[in-house]
A = this chain, B = another copy of it.
């Protein structure tokens, strides 16, 4: 598979980044992806008990991953809701790179870069990509509306977002959203990306701490089994379930952002993804769910992508 600036930046063999999925991107997952030649990313709240100390939890995740691999890995910080104390843990523990999302790249980019940590910022429009570049990030992750979880308000799909961001910035662009296999990786590269970030493809792996109910729902999902809800709060892609049905009903009759927030409350994603309650919980999930049809190891997911890539590219000529 082709080498890109993303391989150099992250010190990896294949330009495949595992998405730092909230609650479920655990140390074993990140370490397994990095061991297989990709770039694993830890979510600070992966598998976290409700009464845990967040900074100590993150430190233990990073140390656990270090015990499992000597290869580089990273941490994802949603900027909104991440206190500086957590960022300091990533700096103290010397992770190779941090991905920042859901917030202003000005908040932590300079602070992380001064500490020698590489920064990739998740963007969902050209303006945000250019803003992140100006703030000094090393790369942007252009995440299309296909992605699971929180998406940008403009709802730009990968097919149009990626080439537009590539045309608008000089730093490397990583494509995310809807990429599930070697076909998607080749498509992302054709659009000009120098790497891919894949989240949903790594949920149904043996190493991921996601609840078995969630993993099974991901591999069984059909093309129409995810949906965007909560557009007034921030568009969020989840597996369809009784909760999303209820939220969609509220939205159809014009419920306000406050009403939606009050109904949804907090803790729904943890409930769905870690505890496996797919009736009342949220299960963040990309629109490509179901394209991986069985629970595999991370090594197998990456091996299939890498092995398939050249066959896909050969057929294009």
Residues of A within 8 A of B (CB): 2, 125-127, 144-146, 154-161, 163-164, 177-181, 183-184, 186-192, 222-224, 228, 232, 252-255, 286-288, 291, 310, 312-313, 315-317
Contacts and interface: CB of A to CB of B under 8 A. Distances in A.
Contact of A190 (B255, B287, B312): B312
Give the oligomeric copy count. Answer: 2
Contact of A178 (B157, B192, B252, B316): B157
Contacts of A188: 187
Given A156-B287, A223-B126, A183 B178 contact: no
14 contacts: A2-B317, A156-B287, A157-B158, A159-B177, A159-B184, A159-B187, A159-B288, A160-B178, A160-B288, A163-B291, A183-B190, A184-B191, A190-B313, A313-B313
Contact of A187 (B154, B181, B187, B317): B187
B157 A157 contact: yes
B191 A187 contact: yes
A232 B251 CA distance: 11
A146 B154 contact: no
A187 B162 CA distance: 11
B291 A222 contact: no
Contacts of A177: 159
Of listed A160, A223, A252, residue having the most chain B CB within 10 A: A160
A310 B177 CA distance: 25
Contacts of A317: 2, 310, 313
B186 A190 contact: yes
Nearest to A312: B190
A157 B286 CA distance: 11
A191 to B, nearest CB: 5
Contacts of A288: 159-160
A100 B268 CA distance: 43
A191 B259 CA distance: 41
A253 B163 CA distance: 35
A163 B192 CA distance: 19
Contact of A157 (B145, B180, B254, B312): B145
Given A159-B146, A160-B287, A223-B160, A253 B254 contact: yes
B157 A144 contact: yes
Contacts of A287: 156-157, 160
A217 to B, nearest CB: 17
B316 A224 contact: no
A183 B159 CA distance: 10
A181 B189 CA distance: 14
Given A158-B157, A252-B254, A288-B160, A125 B224 contact: yes
A163 B289 CA distance: 12
A161 B254 contact: no
